[in-house]
Amino acid sequence: MAAANPRVVNTRATADGRATLAAYRLLTGRRARGREVVGVLEELNDEESAAYQALMRVVFALPRAITADITPACGVGLSDYMALDLLSRAPGRQLRMTELAAACGVSLSGISRIMSRLDREGLTRREGSPEDGRGTFAVLTDAGQASRDQTYPLHLATVRRYLFEHLGACDLDRFTAVMESIADALLAGGAARSDRRGRPAPAEAALIGEISVRP
């Protein structure tokens, strides 16, 4: 049951209180002005807290479980397979790098690192745009299609086992809409971004294989 009277947290900090300034910006959508900032945060109620904790467990555990199953058998990681699968479904087996990055939920730096790995294996290649010569397309090769097709049955089995068997009678249309809304908001807010040196952020690095996600 939700708490009847959710508590609020009053935060007060000077301009060097980085956490409070960050919270202020999230709440208001603007940077703090002046030296002192006061923000009011409503604590999560019991239902919200349980939902958030459950989601975070899935966020961390699901990619690890899928990777642990498909990598030893098929030689590709989850981020690699996602890129291969998306390209295999695209017209002409190709997508602009920006489109592929958005579909994978990673930054341009992140998708470049994934593509570099796939390019080395001969599974993909990159080509200039035939329209303006400025954009870059990610293209799936025949070897990449074969790798995707080899991995597909095992990936399908893991997704059904670890995800859909537990959703039961859940409204999948509503579930998808909520997940897409969250993902769109995160990406619009710059969640998939690189640091000043062009390296993926740590959480993204784990997804794309810069940091091991195996159990």
**Whole-number Cα distances in Å, 118 to 24, 104, 129:** 41, 15, 19
| 180-184: long-range pairs with CB below 8 Å, 24+ | 183/105
Instruction: For 154-204, give the DSSP string.
Output: HHHHHHIIIIIHHHTT--HHHHHHHHHHHHHHHHHTT-S-B-TTSPBPHHH
- Classify domain 48-208 by CATH number: 1.10.10.10
Tell me: the pLDDT tens digits for 166-215? 998 889 999 999 999 998 888 776 654 544 444 545 455 555 554 333 33
Domain ranges of the chain: 1-43, 48-208
| pTM recorded for the entire structure | 0.74
Tell me: the pLDDT tens digits for 110-123? 999 999 999 999 99
